[in-house]
A and B are shown apart, each in its own frame.
Chain A
Amino acid sequence: MSLLHQAKLLISISRTNDIVRRYFVVNGFDGALTMFGMIIGFLISATDELTVIMNACLGAAIALGMSGLSSAYVSEVAERKRALNKLEEAMITDLSDTAHGEAARWVPLWVALVNGAAPLLISLLILLPLWLAIAGFTFPVSPLYIAIAVAMILIFLLGVLLGRIADISWLRSGVQTLLVALVTGALIYLIAGN
């Protein structure tokens, strides 16, 4: 059996696609909204030291990635082990050397990677304008505003993805997630701005 076929079988028998998709959207949204909030916070603070902003945001992005990776791994290992034990009881046999045993070992790793990578990659995309500005690229407006625009586009796209998964209007779903970001921004302005 080829490696690709084996991987497909493991993902199929463990019903991982749904979980991975959900984790990607949920944690990706976490990453996007965190960066969005932090950059608005820096705008309110009138800090123009891009390196400081970049390091603070990068620190938060890496922490989100590590948090996603470790929390998903620990919980998935426990869930998969429990499911395997129940299946072994039903089959009255040891399944550790079967596709089910392999899935219990490999699937938590795959789920954890997606859960950790989603907020990290989305955060890095949002921070890209800041990186470019630090590297010497000049924008017509402050790179913080461009980073906020990137964050809003990504949040909208995550909503579109959710709409497609739920088979509802992608526009409505995208606008809904965008509204969450706008409410978050307004709350930050109201609470931190005063």
Chain B
Amino acid sequence: MVSVKRIVLDVLKPHQPNALEFSRAIAIVGDDYRVRLTVVEMDEKTETLQLEIEGDSVDIEAIESAISDMGASLHSIDQVEVLNQSMEG
């Protein structure tokens, strides 16, 4: 089975919710998600983020949905780490 272990996203979001609330809302999407958020650029009404999410099986569609629910938009997927865990025997 192929699963996504880590993704790095380029995201544009309004100032609210703030970085902490935004990260929490993303982390809630998966039981074992580890979220690392870096503010790359700050404008008058928006900020550009680098969002790194790690987990046993990262659900990119659910994350994208959580991002847009908070009024942010996913610009690009900058890095991906995928693992093929084939069943043995």
Interface residues of chain A, those whose CB is within 8 Å of chain B, are: 1, 5, 9, 12-15, 86-87, 90-91, 93, 95, 98-101
Whether B71 pairs with A100 at a CB distance below 8 angstroms is yes
Q: Are B12 and A12 in contact (CB under 8 A)?
A: no
Contact A86/B16 with A1-B28, A91-B73 known, Cβ cut-off 8 Å: no
CB of A9 within 8 A of CB of B21, answer yes
Kindly list the 10 A-B residue pairs having the minimum CB-CB distance in the complex, ordered from nearest: A90-B45, A13-B16, A98-B71, A100-B71, A13-B17, A95-B71, A90-B46, A99-B70, A87-B14, A93-B73
Q: A91-B14, A91-B72 are in contact. List 4 more A-B contacts (CB 8 A).
A: A12-B16, A12-B17, A13-B14, A99-B69
Contacts of A9 in B (CB 8 A): 17, 21, 25, 70
Closest approach, in angstroms, between the C-beta of A86 and any C-beta of chain B?
7
Whether B88 sits at the interface, judged by CB under 8 Å, is no
User: How distant is the Cα of A99 from the Cα of B73 in the complex, in angstroms?
Assistant: 13
A181 and B21 CA atoms in complex are apart in Å by: 42
* Chain B 21-55: CB-based contact to A (< 8 A → 1; otherwise 0): 10001001000000000000001111000000000
User: Is there contact, CB below 8 Å, between A98 and B16?
Assistant: no
What are 15 A-B contacts defined by CB distance under 8 Å?
Answer: A1-B25, A9-B17, A9-B70, A13-B17, A13-B21, A14-B16, A90-B14, A90-B46, A91-B73, A98-B68, A98-B70, A99-B17, A99-B69, A99-B71, A100-B70
Residues of A within 8 A of B68 (CB): 98
Instruction: Please determine whether A91 and B16 come into contact, CB atoms closer than 8 angstroms.
Output: no
Of all chain B residues, the one with the shortest Cβ separation from A100 is B71
Assembly CA distance A187 to B28 (angstroms): 59
A5 to B25, CA, bound (A): 10
Nearest A-chain residue to B28, judged by Cβ? A1
Which B residues fall within an 8 A CB radius of A?
A: 12, 14, 16-18, 21, 25, 28, 43-46, 68-73
Residues of B within 8 A of A5 (CB): 28
In Å, the complex CA distance between A144 and B14 comes to: 53
Query: Which residues of chain B are within 8 angstroms of A101 by Cβ–Cβ distance?
Result: 71
Q: B17 — which chain A residues lie within 8 A by C-beta?
A: 9, 12-13, 99
- Assess whether A91 is in contact with B46, with CB atoms less than 8 Å apart: yes
Supposing A91-B71, A91-B73 touch, asked if A100 and B14 sit within 8 A by C-beta, the answer is yes
Cα A9 to Cα B66 in complex, Å, equals 13
Which of A12, A86, A87 touches B71 (beta carbons < 8 Å)?
A87
Q: Please measure, in the bound complex, the distance between the C-alpha atom of A15 and the C-alpha atom of B14, giving whole angstroms.
A: 13
Q: In the bound complex, how far is the Cα of B12 from the Cα of A99, in angstroms?
A: 15
Q: Cβ of B69: which chain A residues have Cβ within 8 Å of it?
A: 1, 98-99
Q: List residues of chain A with CB within 8 A of the CB of B18.
A: 12
